[in-house]
């Protein structure tokens, strides 16, 4: 009997590390390796005032950390509701998920006096 040969295929992707390591938002599960308190402290050291940690009463999600500039564009409750709605079906309590948010502001009907 001959032994089967085994191979390992390894793919690497290298990208530049940037601060902050989260672009727009981070969803923190209730049993994530690093909890909301630890992440909040770390981000206050790295990028003070750039993110807000929003604690939730949710069975899976402990908190969502959102970029302050996005919260100036969209009301907190509305943004959090939409993030949770999409995330709760794809994550468990041990996850911490990065979220990319693209907000496009459209202004219609503005009148200018000439």
- SS3 letters for 16-48? CCCCCCCCCEEEEECCCCCCHHHHHHHHHHHCC
Domain boundaries, the chain: 25-99
Strand order in the sheet with 96-99: 51-55, 61-67, 25-29, 96-99
> Tokens 């969502």, residue?
64
* 3-state SS, residue 99: strand
Task: Report the pLDDT value the prediction gives residue 21, as an integer from 0 to 100.
Answer: 79
Model pTM above 0.85:
no
pLDDT in tens, the chain (114 residues): 677 888 878 887 776 666 677 889 999 999 999 999 999 999 999 899 999 999 999 999 999 999 999 999 999 999 999 999 999 999 999 999 999 898 988 888 877 777
Task: Report the pLDDT value the prediction gives residue 96, as an integer from 0 to 100.
Answer: 93
Task: Report the pLDDT value the prediction gives residue 16, as an integer from 0 to 100.
Answer: 64
Closest of 63, 88, 59 to residue 76, by C-alpha: 63
């Amino acid at each position: 009997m001959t032994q089967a040969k085994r191979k390992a295929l390894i793919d690497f992707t290298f990208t530049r590390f940037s601060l902050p390591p989260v672009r727009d938002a981070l969803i923190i599960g209730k049993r994530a390796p690093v909890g909301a308190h630890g992440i909040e402290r770390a981000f206050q050291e790295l990028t003070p005032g750039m993110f807000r940690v929003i604690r939730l009463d949710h069975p899976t999600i402990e908190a969502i950390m959102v970029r302050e500039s996005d919260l100036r564009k969209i009301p907190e409750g509305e943004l959090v509701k939409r993030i949770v709605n999409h995330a709760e079906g794809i994550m468990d309590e041990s996850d911490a998920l990065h979220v990319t948010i693209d907000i496009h502001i459209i202004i219609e009907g503005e009148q200018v006096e000439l």
